[in-house]
Amino acid sequence: MLVNLRDGFSIAMKADGSTRLDEDYLCDLHKVLMAELLPPSQLGLVRAGPVTIGASTYRPLSSSIRLKEEIKVLFSENEKYTDPFERAIHLHCNLAYLQFFQDGNKRTARLMQTAALAQCGITPLFFRDTLIDQYQRATVTYYETGSYEPYIDFFTKNYTLVAAQMLGEEEADFTTRIRQNIASKELSSPT
């Protein structure tokens, strides 16, 4: 699994402006992530039956025909987002929600999120192990309510923590510096 994650991450990080994040890309990424973890007949292919989500009342679609229709809608809707962070979050939450594959959906969704950010030259989200529970709760909340807010909170907190750590700063100092930078840009923006 770790080798597959490494290989999938390498593919996602190569995404650039010419990379088309679509169903083909998604399925190819799933094949890499789930190699030797699923039977070859399930790699990169829409699932043929129902799945359940632990710790959730949500029941994903079970019809492969409907799943194929919905994945097209998902990618079409995702193209409408111009902000790379919004696009990445939309992609992650909705791919995890759809449960397109028999297994490996959240892993694939996280790497699609990475690819969406890499496509725009933005450092991806690196998960802090201390926030995994928050990630799981936020994802389940999205399944059950459709609210992005818990996931956005998770994403923002995690991104801030990791960025501060990478820059060797305390989280509070980093957050203050970012807010000041945003405020100065807002003040100097032409009207």
CA-based max dimension of the chain: 57
Residues of the chain with pLDDT under 50: 185-191
- Inter-CA distances, 69 with 50, 76, 87, 121, 143, Å: 16, 11, 20, 30, 19
pLDDT at position 182 = 54
How many Å apart are CA 75 and CA 21, to the nearest integer?
A: 8
User: For residue 167, what pLDDT is reported?
Assistant: 79
CA-nearest of 21, 51, 69, 73 to 143 is 51
Domains and CATH numbers, the chain: 1-120 (1.10.3290.10), 125-191 (no CATH)
Report pLDDT for 115.
98
